Amino acid sequence: MNIRWFPQSFVQVRTDEHEVCIDPAMMDTVGDILRSFVPVGKGRPLPQGMVPADVILVSHHHNDHLDRNIVRQLTSERTLVLAPEKCMGKIPRGGRAVAAGQSLEHEGIKVEVVHAYNPPGSRSMTFHKKGECVGFVLEVGGRRLYHAGDTGLIDEMKGLGRIDLAFLPIGGKFTMDIAEAVEAVRIISPSMVVPMHMLKADPLVFKETVERETSAKVSILSPGESIRF
């Protein structure tokens, strides 16, 4: 299995048989996000090595997680796009609205839709409301992967079951901060963690803390970098 990451939370999962893309948008700076509100032409081209996906998973409607031009380029007639209802207006075709608690299988790819939100009191503003955003547990190639989306530290993480690889936000403000993400690792007990949606948080601090306090390993990826898992 090959895993590739782009900021904020765009993950490509490739096996010999399947291609899955999660949160397709490439935005590394505030400037990128602001420019996304004024699309120019057809938008930026896909990175080399990307092809239309079997499944596209979208955690929520914010532009740093859903770029309609990238979705369009990743979509073929056979692509299934799963996203919350609020995303449907940004998805060119093949979209199916989903909510936490649902599960399905598509061409051998199993998907569980799970909660993602900012718990009351965890931030000064609630940027991600319960019911509007989701995370995903993806089972492909015999592995279970958890993509948390934009979430705080939530009780529902206790019910995820076995997780081999977790993609967790660590940036704070809009999502978990480093301390909360470390606690999430303790709860989830994945074999490996890839930090995402980092903003100004130091992923090395996250890595050192996780590997000191848990049995999980942390892989820090540069934009566009991939690992074998």
Average pLDDT of 108-116? Answer: 97
Tell me what percent of the residues of the chain surpass a pLDDT of 90.
77
Sorting pLDDT into bands at 50, 70 and 90, what band is 159? very high
Strand order in the sheet with 95-97: 95-97, 80-83, 55-57, 19-22, 10-14, 2-6, 226-228
Question: What pLDDT score was predicted for residue 39?
Answer: 47
Total domain count for the chain? Answer: 1
Q: Report if residue 226 sits inside a domain.
A: no
Average pLDDT of 112-131? Answer: 86
Domain of residue 173 covers: 2-220
The CA–CA distances, whole Å, from 191 to 4, 31, 217 equal 17, 35, 6
Q: Report if residue 103 sits inside a domain.
A: yes
Question: What pLDDT score was predicted for residue 62?
Answer: 92
Q: How far apart are CA 8 and CA 198, in angstroms?
A: 7
Q: Report if residue 162 sits inside a domain.
A: yes
Q: Which residue has the higher pLDDT, 49 or 189?
A: 189
Q: Report if residue 71 sits inside a domain.
A: yes
pTM summary value: 0.92
Per-residue pLDDT at 69 exceeds 50 = yes
Q: Report if residue 152 sits inside a domain.
A: yes
The CA–CA distances, whole Å, from 94 to 11, 26, 141 equal 20, 21, 24
Q: pLDDT per residue over 17-42, tens digit each?
A: 999 999 999 875 544 544 444 444 45
* Closest CA relative to residue 36, chosen from 26, 50, 45, 46: 26
Q: Is 225 helix (H, G, I), strand (E, B) or coil?
A: coil
Q: pLDDT per residue over 163-202, tens digit each?
A: 999 999 999 989 999 999 999 999 999 999 999 999 999 9
Q: How far apart are CA 126 and CA 2, in angstroms?
A: 34
Q: Which tokens go with 140?
A: 């492909």
Q: Report if residue 34 sits inside a domain.
A: yes
Q: Which residue has the higher pLDDT, 121 or 10?
A: 10
Chain centroid to CA 190: how far? 16
Question: What pLDDT score was predicted for residue 50?
Answer: 86
Question: What pLDDT score was predicted for residue 59?
Answer: 98
Are 94 and 129 spatial neighbours (Cβ–Cβ below 8 Å)? Answer: no
Least confident of 70-84, 124-138, 174-188: 124-138
Q: Residue 108 belongs to a domain with what CATH number? A: 3.60.15.10
Q: Report if residue 41 sits inside a domain.
A: yes
Q: Report if residue 181 sits inside a domain.
A: yes
Per-residue pLDDT at 155 exceeds 90 = yes
